[in-house]
């Protein structure tokens, strides 16, 4: 791979995008271009077309997305569906139109059916109904995958799709309206500890299980598959092991030394009860994440404490 090739990374200010941008630079890629929402609205087809016509990137890493936790997805399903559909469609179409050599698309494990055999293999996509709480976001991501597949079939376009498990990291948002589950729990327990709260109430029952991947590991995966993979077949990326939300809450509670009671509001949704991915294809291709969950959690806790 030519380290001087022009690479366009979308979403470079977000949790994943910022880490990925830095990791590519650290590995010698010196001609990376980025945009912000102020300089380029990815939802606007004409703006995206004009940008590609002017800049002519050779490679695209599409990370930009409208993301959020269960509550945000429940409250804004149309926004999650529309915004993500438009962004990825505009970027993929312009990438093809202006002869981008390779396109990396980031999907999500929520694309798999709500009731799915475990661990979830890539071929289980579209085998059943989606989890209602994030259906809009999931449909958009599935559409992105299928758009790349059809562009490959019809035009020979080189697009690859990576499907990460639940991402977390020190640079995640701690805004409870937009935070992912792990950073949300870190904030809730740290605040409860500081406020000497006698109890904390969490959504659901805690029985739902999730697989967590540190954003640094996933940025390494993006670079690895960018350099070494050229198939339209999706690749699951994750540790291959999961943990219940109850176990995660207890682990974070212990790490921040919170001694109050943990209560569960079973009138609130759990989301998918289990979504651990089969990562045998990832391993077969030569990649494996390395950061331990406990280590990553400790880093997120320290990051949040520095914001206080």
Residues serving a catalytic function are 137
Six token digits for residue 197:
């709260």
Q: Residue 287 to residues 225, 235, 239, 290: CA-CA distances in angstroms?
A: 9, 11, 10, 10
Range 66-69, long-range pairs (CB < 8 A, 24+ positions): 66/137, 67/14, 67/137, 67/178, 67/180, 68/177, 68/178, 69/176, 69/177, 69/178, 69/179, 69/180, 69/181, 69/184
Among 160, 162, 42, CA closest to 102: 160
Q: How far is CA 265 from the centre of its chain?
A: 26
Tell me which residue of 299, 294, 212, 301 sits closest to 256, measured CA to CA. Answer: 301
| Structure-token match 């004009």, residue found | 50
């Amino acid at each position: 791979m030519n380290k001087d090739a022009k690479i366009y990374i979308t979403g470079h200010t977000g949790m994943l995008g910022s880490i990925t941008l830095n990791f590519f630079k650290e590995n010698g890629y010196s001609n990376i271009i980025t945009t912000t929402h102020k300089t380029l609205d990815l939802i606007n087809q004409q703006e995206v077309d004009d940008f590609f016509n002017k800049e002519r990137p050779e490679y695209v890493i599409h990370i930009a997305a409208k993301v959020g936790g269960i509550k945000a997805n429940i409250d804004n399903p149309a926004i999650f569906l529309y915004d993500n559909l438009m962004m990825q469609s505009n970027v993929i179409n312009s990438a093809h139109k202006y002869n981008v050599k390779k396109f990396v698309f980031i999907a999500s494990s929520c694309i798999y059916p709500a009731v799915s055999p475990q661990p979830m293999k890539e071929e289980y996509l579209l085998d059943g109904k989606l989890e209602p709480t994030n259906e809009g976001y999931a449909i958009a991501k599935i559409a992105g995958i299928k758009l790349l597949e059809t562009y490959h079939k019809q035009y020979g376009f080189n697009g690859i799709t990576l499907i990460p498990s639940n991402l977390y990291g020190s640079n995640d948002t701690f805004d409870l309206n937009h935070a992912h589950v792990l950073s949300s729990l870190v904030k809730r327990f740290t605040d409860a500890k500081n406020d000497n709260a006698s109890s904390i109430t969490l959504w659901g029952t805690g029985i739902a299980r999730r697989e967590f991947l540190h954003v640094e590991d996933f940025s390494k995966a993006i670079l690895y598959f960018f350099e070494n993979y050229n198939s339209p077949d999706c690749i699951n990326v994750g540790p291959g092991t999961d943990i219940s939300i109850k176990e995660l809450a207890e682990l974070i509670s212990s790490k921040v030394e919170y001694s109050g009671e943990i209560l569960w509001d079973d009138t609130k949704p759990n989301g998918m009860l289990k979504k651990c991915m089969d990562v045998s294809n990832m391993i077969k291709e030569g990649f494996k994440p390395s950061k331990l969950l406990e280590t990553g959690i400790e880093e997120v806790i320290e990051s949040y404490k520095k914001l206080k």
